[in-house]
Amino acid sequence: MRFFLAGILICVSFATHANIDQKLSEYIAKFNLTPLTKPQNVNAKLAQLGHELFEDPLLAGNRNITCRDCHHPRSMTVDGLPLSLGEGAEGIQAAGRLRLQKKGKILARNTPSLFNLDGVNTMFWDGRVSFNQNTKELTTPTPLRNDVKVTLRSALAAQAIFPIADHAEMRGQPGSNEIADAKSDHEAWDLVTKRVLAVPEYSALFKEIYPGETINIGHIGEAIAEFQRAAFAFNDTPYDNYLRGDKTALNDIQKAGMDVFFGKGKCGECHNGQHLSNFEFHNVGVPQIGPGKTDGDDLGRQQWNSESANLYAFRVPALRNVALTAPYMHNGSIKTLAQVVEHYDMVVESFTGFKLVNNWKNYVEKIADHDHRNDDLRQSSLSKKLTPKLHFEEEEEKALTEFLATALTDKRLLARELDGDYETYFRLQLKPSGFEKLDQRFTGVRDQETFYYFDALLEGGFFLRELAQPIRLILVKKSDRTELVFREQIYKTAVADEGMVLGGNFNRLEKQLISGEDFQSIEGAYLDIFDRIYTYNNGTRNDPIPVTELAIIRSHISTINAGLGRIKFAGADRISDVLNQAKDEVLYVPTSFNRKETNTFNLTVEGKAVKSILQRSLLRTETGALVETWAIEFETGRVLKSEIQKFGKSLLRALNLKNSEIGGGTPSPSKLTLQVLEKALN
């Protein structure tokens, strides 16, 4: 199933009814929900020292990696990769740059974020470092020497020292440096401490902050932890402000999503309390990818605690700023929040049907795909708190995704400006009465347009629309020209006002004019493919498509790709990059098309020129029938993310529509199309 906020009326009936705030207040009490507070009693000098150590390669055996490399602030304190890369890797994953494997190892798990770790007492995905707040006892994988143990005052500080001792993460492989050759973790830590104290500035600061104490690795951990808990506290979210009593802090969609989260979705069974996590360990059916911890598998918490309930169980993550820290799960196997929601909707189907697409250019070697031989064991040990099937409605999935994506994100991060140029797009689905009202009200340039949509077919399905930043490749036939459009969606959100929901997208676009000769060959092959598919699936019959027909379809796909190959557009490089394939190896296939009757007129909203396109569309359904839909789309220049809600509401008000005049949806591309194309190309 697809997840598009644009153009969908998101369950307004349950987002705006009178008792929604009452329902949410009941969840707040039931799940002990409290707003995050700012870290208290921060030692500014210790935090500054920790900041410098966080960015210093001295802590690494080969002086070739820092804490920041995997937890870079520009990458939202993560590395943006499914599986972390150890020492020997280079670069950061931000602003169009890549973190590359080079000589580093692919590690077993995803890099956890550093947001809001103050007071969190369980660290690492498997909880191997923990702190008992009552007894003040630390639990660690390596028993700590007493002088180190008494220095460490939190799980966060204890966690900071273990990557330093890990050969793959920071220490280096034996034979590469003296720290890597140390006979124990403590010997390695002592050598790192000696290195740090050999720097006069560090030595002076430690003596000032800890007068009379013998400095050890625990003090280094304390400094790094003090920096992390102070620097990465981002808790000014709409959700937190709602918990503080501002009932307007969440919009209608976010409230609806919060209702789904704690109600039908049952997310609050594990995601509760101040951090939206109980920090327990559960097997939630995540497919195994990558090298794992033991023999290509990762047993999770059971590696440290042999209780049967810990098999494949991992720590429940906190959720503030979760929209910024993709990909998800302990191994980054799920790319988007929408796909996380879909996973929990049907957990067993999700991991048993999982197929990894290695579309990262970061890695020298391919990440190992999920081994399905352990699926029965994984299923039998699923957490008892999981509901195998939640039976979400589409609007519930969309509202839940919006709650996760925007309500839990700090305002400073939500409003951060995007890199590069983009245009802002909005879309609102209409009912016939809404279309007719606007069609009579606005007179503009009328045109006929046909849209031909393409995707890249890889093993496992279509993927351009499933990326973290979805890509569309579209041929648009207009009355006076034909264009190839490459569109990359870099951010999406939704705006609600008095029960109306407007989808908003920030897109990067490239348009390339197409010659009539190139277009005619592509169009002819494209339309004939669909005609042949629909001949055998027309609502009254569902017959297997003959082998001879499949051969013709295969020939048409070759014609389409030859035609697209003659068109030079920069988007081909971007598609090749995200798919990890050479440009001439990417196979483009038709997915759907529609014909639109458009009325284009212009509005001015808050001083911005807005191109408005009123559309009556005919789209093919699964059976080949034509379905009529109505919508209005808006195109404008850059709208700052911090201004999107205000601007969107002004745009809605300018339309002067009633709730009864909006709504509806558009058919998704046919699953039959995918099945036929896969069969034709095998």
- Residue 36 pLDDT: 97
Q: Is 369 exposed, middle or buried (0-12, 13-18, 19+ CB in 10 A)?
A: middle
Given its phi and psi angles, is residue 400 left (phi above 0), alpha (psi -120 to 50 degrees) or beta?
Answer: alpha
Number of neighbours of residue 376 by Cβ within 10 angstroms:
10
What is the rounded average pLDDT for all residues in the chain?
A: 90
- 8 Å CB contact between 156 and 123: yes
Q: For residue 451, report the phi and psi dihedrals to the nearest 5 degrees.
A: -110, 125
**pLDDT, position 7:** 28
Using CB atoms within 10 A of its CB, is residue 254 exposed (0-12), middle (13-18) or buried (19+)?
Answer: buried
> What pLDDT is recorded for position 5?
28
Higher pLDDT, 210 or 94: 210
Helices (H) and strands (E) in the chain, counts: 22, 14
Tokens of 274: 């101040």
Decide: 649 and 495 in contact? Cβ < 8 Å.
yes
- Structure tokens that stand for 638 in this block: 């850059």
CA distance 475 to 652: 29
Please, which pLDDT band fits residue 664 given cuts at 50, 70 and 90? confident
- pLDDT of 270 above 60: yes
CB–CB of 496/414 below 8 Å?
no
- Spatial distance between the Cα atoms of 367 and 206, rounded to a whole number of angstroms: 42
Q: Is the pLDDT of residue 283 over 60?
A: yes
Query: pLDDT tens digits for 423-468?
Result: 999 999 999 999 999 999 998 889 999 999 999 887 667 788 877 7
Residue 635 has phi, psi (to 5 degrees) of -125, 135
Residues 131-188: tens digit of each pLDDT: 998 998 999 999 999 999 999 999 999 999 999 999 999 999 999 999 999 999 999 9
Q: Which amino acid is at 235?
A: N
Please state, in angstroms and rounded to a whole number, the distance separating the CA atoms of residues 636 and 435. Answer: 21
Asked if the model's pLDDT at residue 123 lies above 60, the reply is yes
Q: What is the DSSP string of 242-278?
A: HHTT-TTSS-HHHHHHHHHHHTTT-GGGTS-TTTT--
Q: Read off the pLDDT of residues 351-405 as tens digits, 9 standing for 90 and up.
A: 998 888 887 889 999 999 998 989 999 999 999 999 989 999 878 988 899 899 9
The residue-averaged pLDDT of 267-284 equals: 97
Angle between helices 44-54 and 217-231 (to 10 degrees): 100
CA-to-CA distance for 374 and 354, rounded, in angstroms?
Answer: 13
Does 422 have pLDDT greater than 60? yes
pLDDT at 540: 62
Q: How far lies 141's CA from each of 21, 115, 148, 467, in Å? A: 45, 24, 14, 37
Token digits of residue 136:
């003040």
What single letter denotes the amino acid at residue 486?
Answer: F
Say yes or no to pLDDT of 13 above 80. Answer: no
Q: Is the pLDDT of residue 8 over 50?
A: no
* Chain-centre distance for alpha carbon 171: 31
For residue 542, name the pLDDT band (cuts at 50, 70, 90).
Answer: low
pLDDT at 12 over 60: no
d(CA 236, CA 38): 10
CA 283/CA 379 separation, integer angstroms: 9
pLDDT at residue number 541:
61
How far apart CA 207 and CA 305 sit, in angstroms, is 39
386: how many CB neighbours lie within 10 A of its CB?
18
Instruction: State mean pLDDT over 475-504.
Output: 88
**Confidence class of residue 112 from pLDDT cuts 50, 70 and 90?**
very high
Nearest Cα neighbor of 143 from 165, 173, 172 is: 165
- Position 661 scores a pLDDT of 92
Other CB atoms within 10 Å distance of the CB of residue 304? 17
pLDDT in tens, 636-646: 988 888 788 89
The encoded tokens of residue 543 equal 């017959």
Q: Where are the beta strands (DSSP E) in 90-151?
A: 122-123, 129-131, 138-139
pLDDT at position 572 over 50: yes
Say yes or no to pLDDT of 11 above 60.
Answer: no
Q: Are 149 and 138 in contact (CB under 8 A)?
A: yes
Tens-digit pLDDT profile for residues 598-623: 999 999 999 999 999 999 998 776 66
Contact present, 299 and 293 (Cβ < 8 Å) = yes
- Cα gap 431→435, rounded to integer Å: 6
CA 262 to the chain's CA centroid? 21
- Distance (Å, whole) CA 261 – CA 253: 12
- Type of residue at 526: Y
Which three-class secondary structure state does DSSP give residue 572?
helix
Nearest to 367 by CA among 97, 96, 99, 105: 105
Sign of CA dihedral 131, 122, 52, 89: positive
Residue 500 in tokens? 């109306």
Confidence of residue 495 (pLDDT cuts 50, 70, 90): confident
SS3 532: helix
Residue type for position 94: A
Q: Do the Cβ atoms of 225 and 156 come closer than 8 Å?
A: yes
Question: Which pLDDT does position 534 carry in this prediction?
Answer: 82
Look at residue 246 in the predicted model and tell me its pLDDT. 96
Say which residues have a Cβ less than 8 Å from residue 271's Cβ, sequence separation at least 6: 261, 277, 278, 316, 319
Grade residue 18 by pLDDT with cuts at 50, 70 and 90. low
Q: Rounded to 5, what percent of the chain is helix, strand, coil? A: 40, 20, 45
For the entire predicted model, the pTM comes to: 0.82
Q: Mind listing the pLDDT tens digit for each residue in 580-603?
A: 788 888 899 998 888 899 999 999
Q: Are 254 and 403 in contact (CB under 8 A)?
A: yes
pLDDT, position 451: 93
Residue 420: CB atoms within 10 Å: 9
Q: Does residue 539 register a pLDDT over 70?
A: no
The separation between the first and the last C-alpha atoms of the chain, rounded to the nearest angstrom, is 24
User: Would you place residue 667 in the very low, low, confident or very high pLDDT band (cuts 50, 70, 90)?
Assistant: low
Which position has the higher pLDDT, 107 or 443? 107
Instruction: Report all structural domains of the chain as residue ranges with CATH numbers, in order of start.
Output: 12-37+236-406 (1.10.760.10), 44-71+114-231 (1.10.760), 417-681 (2.40.320.10)
